[in-house]
Amino acid sequence: MAAVVLFFLLFGKSLIWPGGRGGVDGVRLDSKQVITDDVPAESVAGVMGGPVAGLEQLLFDSAKGAIDFSADDSAENADVVFFQENSVMAMNSLLPNADFSGFRKDILEYVVKSGDTPEDIANAFNINTYTLLWANGLKDGDIIRPGDKLIVLPINGVRVKISSNDTIASLAKKYSGKEDEIIAFNSLPESGSLKSGDYVIIPGGEMPVSVKAAPAKPKYSAPQYASSVGQANNWLIYPTTGFVWGRIHSNNGVDVANHCGTPIYAAAAGQVILSDGTGWNGGYGKYIKIQHPNGVVTLYAHATQLLVSVGESVIQGQLIAYMGTTGRSTGCHLHFEVRGAKNPLAGASRTIK
């Protein structure tokens, strides 16, 4: 394992396609990189059949469509893993809160080509469709045409022009972000001082509902308790339905992809110890942690809506959230972690019904 890690340290950067993203290439003009042509990325097999991971990013084929059947969190699918505190960890795990060292910070400008859709463009740049639409003042259903120029943000969230009355606190409140994350991503002074007329990016932020440019988010409904769910092992049930990617990444996590709004249920009874619906959160987006009586903690990430609060006791099969694409995600899916025990979703890809 030490030899494998050393290999990536020495040669990881040489494995990255010059354009910075698999499938697109571009040239840098001033502070923007203009993307003009599609260039096929080289296919490099990893030691377990997945993409080879450099220290900065992975080569991978972006998922197509609204459902993320390829577990599109590129940094979550690294082939190199190691063990830490009795849990399997991907070398490129989700980042600690307010750590954005692996992200580019510049804004790209993409020239639309024939056949492009907002979903395809967003997937190609590892952001979700909401982020692309918000950045360009578009809404669901708007038509894009060949030759149109679109702004592409480096991370899911919103880009805001600072006005004279803005503060870090007011921006965080208005756009559902976190103050420390805004400061860290934009390399602002620790005091959080802002300059009127500048732009900042709110990592994991969302446009206020009242803003006309924001695509309307549908409201979801589901039974409060799962009526029919499969048993995942001798004490956990499946937390949702959909396509199971199967590969371990991050903190003993596995992805399950389905439509946004798919219900997510507590895999076992326990107490909610974290329910955070604001900000980037190290890539988890909106997420929940449940502490179970045996000491194991389960985590449910990338949700679009959380339905339980810290301190609340839940029973097995209780509805706790709806599937989404918040945080480090380009398509709708659940990132499910089991901390302190085996994750029953790990293994071969399969579908949970």
Q: Output the CA–CA distances (angstroms, integers) from residue 1 to 81, 93, 127, 140, 352, in the order listed.
A: 9, 17, 32, 46, 33
Lookup result for tokens 């049930």: 237
Strand extents, DSSP E, 258-332: 263-265, 270-276, 286-291, 297-306, 313-314, 319-323
pLDDT for the residue 104? 85
Q: Are 317 and 214 in contact (CB under 8 A)?
A: no
pLDDT of res. 221 = 75
Q: Which residues of the chain have pLDDT under 50?
A: 1-2, 4-32, 35-93, 95-96, 211-214
Q: Does an H or E element contain 109, and which? A: strand 108-111
pLDDT of residue 206: 92
d(CA 30, CA 34): 10
Q: What is the pLDDT of residue 192?
A: 85
| CB-count burial class (<10 Å; 0-12, 13-18, 19+) for 281 | buried
* C-alpha span between 304 and 285 (Å, rounded): 9
- Determine the Cα–Cα distance for residues 121 and 143; give it in Å rounded to an integer: 13
E-assigned strand segments in 153-268: 157-161, 199-203, 242-244, 253-257, 263-265
Q: What is the pLDDT of residue 22?
A: 34
Instruction: Report whether 334 contacts 301 (CB < 8 A).
Output: yes
pLDDT digits (tens, 9 = 90+) for 166-204: 999 999 999 999 999 999 999 999 888 899 999 999 999
pLDDT at res. 61 = 34
At 217 the pLDDT is: 54
Q: What does pTM read for this prediction? A: 0.66
Domains of the chain: 242-352 (2.70.70.10)
Report pLDDT for 308.
Answer: 96
**Residue 81: partners with Cβ closer than 8 Å, 6 or more residues away:** 88, 89, 90, 91, 248, 249
What's the pLDDT at 245?
87
